[in-house]
Amino acid sequence: MISFEERAVAKLRQRLGAVEEANQDLIAFARGHSGAVTSIHEAVLAAIDADSFEALIHVVTQEWPLILGLDAVSVALIVGDKGFRADVNGVQAVASQWIERTMSEVDGVTLRNVGRGHPLFGPASSLIRSEALIRLDADAPLPSGLLVLGQRSSQNLDTHHGSELLLFLGRSITSMMRRWLTS
């Protein structure tokens, strides 16, 4: 005689286990997403507190790595026909065409794992294995460019939600630059 009840109970237990596993995955994602949102908000609030354009660049390159849990942050800007790159080591002149070419390859946000970070990281590029390139779009005469975020380890990149948060970060810094450069 075949025990249908035992087989049905076993199948229900198997399905319950799968649902519990999916639920745990969803909770882990939500916690990670919530942590990312909190970090992004904290970073934007720190930038809002900057009292000058120079202080804003300092916050982004010096404080954001700690706030966002990153290993490197760089800002590359085109001002008129000149290019600049700012990071933890200060500001360096770079070819504006180089920044323009890199911007043309980025549609809003580019998230990727790499063997070596983008050269816009400067000396830190050899250490970077995961990077985000975020366009900073503004109308002339305001500067436009890229915000470049990097980590030493490769990441499991959540491109949709991560991109939305990083677009918010990029738009926030662009708005703050506009505030300081037009007032």
Question: Taking the complete model, does pTM exceed 0.85, yes or no?
Answer: no
Using one digit for the tens of pLDDT, what is the confidence trace for 106-165? 999 998 889 999 999 999 999 999 999 999 998 888 889 999 999 998 876 555 566 788
pLDDT of the residue at 154: 80
Could you tell me where the DSSP H helices lie in the chain?
A: 4-48, 53-58, 64-68, 96-104, 159-182
pLDDT in tens, 54-107: 999 999 999 999 999 899 999 999 998 999 999 999 999 999 999 999 999 999
Residue 29 pLDDT exceeds 50:
no
Q: Which domains does the chain have, with CATH numbers?
A: 8-182 (3.30.450.40)
pLDDT of residue 36: 72
Q: What integer pLDDT is reported at residue 25 of this predicted model?
A: 45
Give the whole-angstrom CA distance, residue 53 versus residue 151: 26
Q: Give 33 or 126, the one with higher predicted confidence.
A: 126
Nearest to 47 by CA among 67, 74, 69, 33: 67
Residue 161 region by backbone torsions, left for phi larger than 0, else alpha for psi between -120 and 50, else beta: alpha
Give me the numbers of helices (H) and strands (E) for the chain, helices first please: 5, 6
Is the predicted pLDDT of residue 24 greater than 70, yes or no? Answer: no
- C-alpha R_g of the chain: 22
User: Tokens at residue 162, please?
Assistant: 């991560």
